[in-house]
Structure 1
Amino acid sequence: MRRFIKNSIYSLSFCALSLLVLSASCQSANKNTSDGDWEHLFNGKDLTGWKTLAGKAPYTIEDDAIVGTMVKGTPNSFLVTEKEYGDFILELDIKLEGATTNSGIQTRSHYDANANDGKGRVYGRQVDVDPTPRAWTGGIYDEGRRQWLYPLDLNPAAKTAYKANEYNKIRIEAIGNEMKTWVNDVPSAHLVDSIDASGFIALQVHAIPDSLDGKKVYFKNIKIQTKNLRPAEFPTDVYIVNTNANGLTEEEQKAGYSLLFNGKDATGWKSARGGGFPEKGWKIENGIISVQKSDGGESTNGGDIVTEKQYKAFDLSFDFKLTPGANSGVKYFVTLNEETKGSAIGPEYQILDDELHPDAKLGKDGNRTLASLYDLITSDKNKRARKPIGEWNRGRLVVEPNNKVTYWLNGFKMLEFVRGSEEFRKLVAGSKYKDWKNFGEAEQGHILLQDHGDAVSFRSIKIKELK
C-alpha cells in the first residue's frame, strides 16, 4: 500500500512537473511568435524574417538580443524585415555603446538597389537614437531622402528621456498619416506626413569614424501590433510637424491652431497701406500665396500684406520658398502707426538667399541672414537646417506671454531673446531701428509678409494664440 501511494505521489509530481515544463515551453514559444495583439519580430534564436541591406556591419545574436557591430569604412547598414507593414504600433528596447555613436529604427522604408553607384540605399522615415549631447533620440529623420523632419529642438522636454549605456524603450505609432514616438514612455515627436503608406522596418548600424570601430548596438523585445490598434495618449502641447500643405489635423485644431492662409483666397489679409488686399504684386494659386518679382525694391509693387487681426502671444509656423537672390521676411507686432516709405516696422524673421543677396553681408556679424532677427541677432549657422533655394523651408517663431521669443528653421532652433529686456534694448540702440521708440515692444500687432520686390512663396501659415 505504501509503495502504491509513494508511486502515485511520484507519478503525480512527475505529471505536474511535466505540465510546468510544457507550460513554460508554450509561453516561451508564444513570446517568440505572438502575444495577444502583439507579434514578436525576433524569435530569440536566429534572424529568421530579417535580411541585411546596404552596409557591411554584421548582425549577430547575443543572449536575448540582436547585436549590430559598427565597422569602419562601411556606409549605414540595416537589418530589414522581409515583410512590409502599413499601420502599426512597434515597441523595442535599444542600447548603444559609447556617447558619440548613433543608430535608428526605420519605418515604412524602402530600398533602391541602384543608388550609391550600385551599392544600394535604404530610404524612409527613421526614429533616431542619439546618445550625443545633442540628445535627439526620438526625433524623426528621413534617411536617404529629405533628412530631418522632426528635430528634437521642437520638443526639448523629451531630450532628457534617453539613458546612456542602458536599454531604452522606444515606442512608435504609425497610423494613417500620423507618426508618434516615445522614449522610455516620454512623448517625443509627432509628425503628419502623407509619403509612404507602407514599407519595411529596419534596425540601423550607423556609419562611423575609425575610432568607433567595434562598438555595438543592441536590440531586443522587438514586437509589433498591426490590428486592433489603440493609440496611446499624447499631450496636445507637443508641437506637430504637418507636411501636408494648408492642412490642420483634428489634434492641431484641438490644440488651438488655426490657418492664417486658407490656401484659396486672401481672407484674413489686407494691404499694409490700408484698404483691401493689393490689386497687384501678389498671387494666390494652387494653395500658394506669392509676392511677385518687380524691381527688388522694398514695398514698391504690391506692398506688404498684414493680417486683419492683431496678436499678443502666439506660436506661428509658415512654409516659404525662395527664388535665387530673393529677399523677404515675416514681421510681427506691426502696429502700422509708423509712417514709412518702405516696409512697415516690426521685428522680423529674415527670409533671404544668403549666397546671392547682398543684404547677407550687411548689418553686423551676419544678423541679416536667413532666420536671423533682422539687424539684431544672427541665426545659428548650422548648414543642415537650411534647405536649398527653390525648396520649401519651414519657419517657426514663438512669442510667449513672458515676452520670450524663439526662432526655428526646419525644426532647428535658431535663436532666442526677450522683448523689452535690457539686452534687447541695447541691440536695438545699435541697429537701424534705434530711432523708433519702443521698437518691438508693442503689446499687440499684425503679422506681416514682406514685399521686397523678389519672388517668394508662402503656404501652411498657421497660428496658435498663447495665454
Structure 2
Amino acid sequence: MNRLINIRLVLAYSIVLATFSCSETKKDNTPWGSLFDGETLNGWTQKGGEAKYTVSDGVIVGATVHDTPNSFMTSDKMYGDFILELEYMVDSSMNSGIQIRSNSFHYYQDGRVHGYQVEIDPSDRAWSAGIYDEARRGWLNTLENNPSAQKAFKQGDWNHYRIEAIGDTIKTWINEVPAAHLIDDKTASGFIALQVHSIGKDNKEGTEIQWKNIKILTDSLSKYSKTSPLTPVVTKNQLTIKEKEEGWELLWNGKTSEGWRGARLDDFPKQGWEMENGVLTVLSSNGEESAAGGDIVTTDLYGDFELKVDFKLTEGANSGIKYYVDTDLNKGPGSSIGLEYQILDDARHPDAKLGNHEGSRTLSSLYDLIAADINKPANPIGKWNTAHIISKNNHVEHWLNGAKVLEYERKNDVYRKLVSESKYAKWPKFGEADKGHILLQDHGDRVSFKNVKIKPAKKG
C-alpha cells in the first residue's frame, strides 16, 4: 500500500513539474510597451473617415458608418523599426487592416492616409496578414500561394498578429503561422493605425471590428526577431500587381544595360556608370558634364507616357531626367537636348540660383523654363525621392514624392514664348517632338536611380 501511495505521489509531483516547466517555456519575457491603456483612446487620433471608435472592457471597437471614406485610428507617435503584436476580431462581412509606417501629408491627396497595411480579410479570399500599400501601390505581398496562412484565420473569433518591421523587411504571422515576408524600402517610418473600411449603401451600418492587447517593442529587435521560412517578395525594380494591370513596364531591369545606350553611342558606356545591388549610378567626375560615361538614353522612343523614377542625390549634385530627346548623332554636341525634369541639390549647387526664370533650375523644375512649387516635398540629400512625369496630349505634369509641383502645355504660344527667352531658343521647335528618348543625365556628379518604370500610351 505504501508503495502504491509513493508511486502516486511521484506521478503527481511529475505532473506538477511538467506543468510548471511548460508554463515557464511559454512565458513571454519580451519587454513589451503598450500602445493602448485599455480604458481610453489617449495617444490616438482619428484620421480620414468618420467611423465610430469606442472603448469597452479593455477593447477598442470600430463600427462602420455610411457615406464616409476609410477611417483610421492613428497612433500619435511615429514608429520606424519595431515588433508589434495585437489581437482582433472582425465581422465576417468586413474588410479592414492594421496600418504600419503610414503617413498623412497635406500635399498627398489632401492628407489621405497612405502606407503599408497588414490586411484583415475574412472573405473567402483569405488574405489576412498579407501586405497592401494603402492609397499608393496596392497589393505587395498576397497570400494566394500560402494556404497555411489562409487557413489560419479564425472566423468569428480572436486572431493574433505578429508584425515585424525592421529595416527594409516586413514579416507577418497570423495565429503563429508565417504569412508574409516583404523586402521594400518605400517608407521607413510612420504611425500605426486601426482601419475601419468604408462600406457601400447596401452594407449594414454598425458592423464591428475589435482590437485588444496592442503591444510594441522598439529596442533590441535583433534579439527578439523571429526567422520566417517564407521566400521574401522583393519589390525593387519589379512591377507591382497594380502596375501590371495598368500597363506599366520596367524601363530598367535592375541588372543589365538592356534597353539603354549612350546618348551619343551605339552601345552602353563602358565607364562612368555602375549597376550594383539593383541601383544604377552615374559616377562622379568632379562635376565635368559627360566627361566619363556621358548621358544614357532608352533605345525606344516614347510619345504620350507616364514615367516614374526613384533617385538619390549626393551633396552638391546635379543631374536630370530628360524626355522627348532627339539623339540624331549628326546634330553634334546638342544631340541629347530635351525637356528636363531637373535633379539638383538646391541648397548647395549654384544652378539653383540661375535660370531664365527664378527657381527654374531647382529640383523638379522644367529646367530653365518653369520653376517647381517652392513648397515641394523633397527628401533630404542621401534619401530616395520619386520623380513622376506625366505627358498626355501635350499636357505635362511634374510630380515629386506624390505631390504635383508644376504643369504646362507643350506647343502652345505660352510655351513657345518661354522657350524663346531661354537657353533653348537656338533649337527650332525645341521640345515639340511627337516622340523621343528618355534620358538619364551624366552631369559629372554621383546620382543614383532605381525603379525606373514607364506606362506608354495605349496603341491604336
Do both proteins adopt the same fold according to a TM-score greater than 0.5, normalized to the shorter chain?
A: yes
| SS at 1:300 equivalent | coil
Partner of 2:235: 244
Q: Does 1:223 align with 2:209?
A: yes
Q: Given the alignment of the two structures, is residue 461 of structure 1 paired with residue 438 of structure 2, yes or no?
A: no
CA deviation profile, 1:329-369 (whole Å, cap 9, x unmatched): 00011111373537720000000000000000101210100
Contact 1:303 1:343 in 2 (8 A): no
Which residue does the alignment assign to 1:179?
Answer: 133
Give ranges in structure 2 of 5+ residues lacking alignment.
1-35, 83-97, 118-126, 142-167, 174-190, 196-204, 212-232
The yes-or-no answer on 1:366 pairing with 2:314 is no
Deviations 1:248-269 (A, max 9, x none): 1233223211111101111110
* 1:398 counterpart residue number: 390
> Which of 372, 376, 381 is equivalent to 2:369?
376
Given residue 351 of structure 1, which amino acid in structure 2 is its aligned partner?
A: I
Q: Flag the 1:286–1:82 CA change in 2: closer, same or farther, 3 A.
A: farther
Where 1:341 maps in the other structure, the secondary structure is helix
Alignment correspondent of 1:351? 343
The corresponding residue for 1:447 is: 438
Supply the distance in 2 between the matched residues of 1:463 and 1:57 (Cα, whole angstroms). Answer: 38
Counterpart for residue 138 of structure 2: 190
1:136 CA drift (Å): 2.5
Taking the aligned partners of 1:387 and 1:53, their CA distance within structure 2 comes to 32
TM-score of the aligned structures, taking structure 1 as reference length: 0.58
Letter in 2 for 1:140: H
Corresponding position: 1:279 with 2:242: no
Any idea what the Cα deviations from partners look like across 1:252-309, whole Å, max 9, x if unmatched? 2232111111011111100111221101101111101110000202222110000000
Q: Residue 292 in 1 paired to residue 283 in 2?
A: yes
2: CA distance, partners of 1:66 / 1:49:
15
Percent identical among aligned pairs is 43
Separation in structure 2 between the aligned mates of residue 335 and residue 246 of structure 1, nearest angstrom: 26
User: Could you give the per-residue CA deviations for residues 156-209 of structure 1, whole angstroms, max 9, x where no partner exists?
Assistant: xxxxxxxxxxxxxxxxx976232345xxxxxx87364875445996469xxxxx
1:50 Cα shift?
5.0
2: CA distance between counterparts of 1:137 and 1:220? 25
Describe the SS at the equivalent of 2:110. coil
Deviation track 1:368-411 (CA, whole Å, cap 9, x = no partner) reads: 0000000011111225x1100001111010111x1111111011
Contact 1:106 1:124 in 2 (8 A): no
CA contact 1:373–1:379 (8 Å) conserved in 2: yes
Matched residue SS, 1:386: coil
Aligned 1:38-437 pairs, distance under 5 A: 50=38, 55=43, 65-66=52-53, 92-93=64-65, 104-106=72-74, 124-126=100-102, 128=104, 136=110, 138-140=112-114, 176-180=130-134, 190=138, 192=140, 196-198=170-172, 202=193, 221-223=207-209, 244-337=235-328, 339-341=331-333, 344-363=336-355, 364-383=357-376, 385-400=377-392, 402-437=393-428
- Output the CA distance in 1 between the equivalents of 2:250 and 2:109: 32
Letter in 2 for 1:66: Y
Structure 2 equivalent of residue 10 of structure 1:
none
Give 3-state SS (helix, strand or coil) of 2:242's partner: helix
Q: Is the 8 A contact 2:396 2:408 kept in 1?
A: yes
Give the secondary structure class of the aligned counterpart of 2:454: strand
Specify the code of the residue in structure 1 equivalent to 2:100. G
Q: Distance in 2 between matches of 1:316 and 1:190?
A: 18
Q: Distance in 1 between matches of 2:252 and 2:109?
A: 34
Equivalent residue for 1:438? Answer: 429
| Equivalent residue runs for 1:15-26 within 5 Å | none
Query: Could you tell me whether the CA contact under 8 Å between 1:81 and 1:201 is conserved in 2?
Result: no
Distance 1:201 1:319 in 2: 25
For the structure 1 residues 461 and 82, does the alpha-carbon distance in structure 2 shift closer, same or farther, using more than 3 Å as the test?
A: same
Distance in structure 2 (CA, Å) of the matches to 1:283 and 1:112:
30
1:300–1:342 Cα contact (<8 Å) kept: no
2:316 alignment partner AA: G
Query: Partners in 2 of 1:357 and 1:442 — Cα distance?
Result: 30
SS in 1 for 2:209: strand
Return closer, same or farther for 1:406/1:111 CA change in 2, 3 Å cut-off: closer
SS of residue matched to 1:279: coil
Amino acid at match of 2:342: Q
Give the 3 Å change call, closer, same or farther, for CA 178–361 of structure 1 in structure 2.
same
Cα separation, 1, equivalents of 2:318 and 2:428: 26
Looking at structure 2, the residues matched to 273 and 133 of structure 1 have their Cα atoms a distance apart, in angstroms, of 39
Distance (whole Å) between structure 2 residues aligned to residue 386 and residue 133 of structure 1:
12
When normalised by structure 2's length, the TM-score is: 0.59
Q: Write the distance in 2 (CA, Å) between the matches of 1:440 and 1:411.
A: 25
Match of 1:406, SS?
strand
Tell me, which stretches of 5 or more residues in structure 1 are unaligned?
1-47, 59-63, 69-79, 84-89, 97-102, 115-121, 144-172, 182-187, 205-218, 226-241
Q: Look up the equivalent residue of 2:343 and give its one-letter code.
A: I
Aligned residues of 2:100 and 2:192 also touching (Cα < 8 A): no
